[in-house]
Amino acid sequence: MQCLRVLYVVLWAFGFTSTANEHKEHALRLMAEAPLIDGHNDLPWQLRLRFNNNLKSVDLYTLNSTHTNIHKIKEGRLAAQFWAAYAPCDSQYKDAVRQTLEQIDVIHRMCQKYPEDFMLAASSQGFVCLAITDIMEAFAQNKTASLIGVEGGHSIDSSMGTLRIMYQLGVRYLTLTHSCNTPWADNWLVDTESEPVEHNGLTNFGKRLIREMNRMGMLVDLSHVSEQVMRQVLDTSKAPVIFSHSSTYAICPHKRNVPDDVLKKVEDNRGIVMVNFYNNFVTCRQSANLSDVADHFDHIKKIAGSSTVGFGGDYDGVNRVPTGLDDVSKYPDLVAELLRRGWTDDEIKDALGRNLIRVFKDVEMVRDTLTNTSPDDEPIPLEQVKNPCRTDYGYPPQPSSARVPSLGAPALVSTVALISLCVKFM
> Would you give per-residue pLDDT tens digits along the chain (426 residues)?
566 565 454 444 445 467 889 999 999 999 999 999 999 999 999 999 999 999 999 999 999 999 999 999 999 999 999 999 999 999 999 999 999 999 999 999 999 999 999 999 975 444 555 678 889 999 999 999 999 999 999 999 999 999 999 999 999 999 999 999 999 999 999 999 999 999 999 999 999 999 999 999 999 999 999 999 999 999 999 999 999 999 999 999 999 999 999 999 999 999 999 999 999 999 999 999 999 999 999 999 999 999 999 999 999 999 999 999 999 999 999 999 999 999 999 999 999 999 999 999 999 999 999 999 999 999 999 999 999 999 999 999 876 544 444 334 344 334 444 434 443 333
Distance CA 221, CA 172 (A): 10
Distance CA 185, CA 260 (A): 22
CA dihedral 216, 312, 31, 357 (to 10 degrees): -20
Distance CA 285, CA 184 (A): 32
> Model's pTM, two decimal places?
0.90
What confidence score (pLDDT) does residue 162 get? 98
Instruction: Write out the catalytic residue numbers.
Output: 40, 42, 151, 178, 224, 245, 314
CA distances from 100 to 97, 233, 251, 355 (A): 5, 24, 33, 28
What confidence score (pLDDT) does residue 10 get? 44
DSSP β-bridge partners for residue 147: 82
Fold held by 17-369: TIM Barrel (3.20.20)
Give the DSSP H/E element, type plus range, for residue 39: strand 36-41
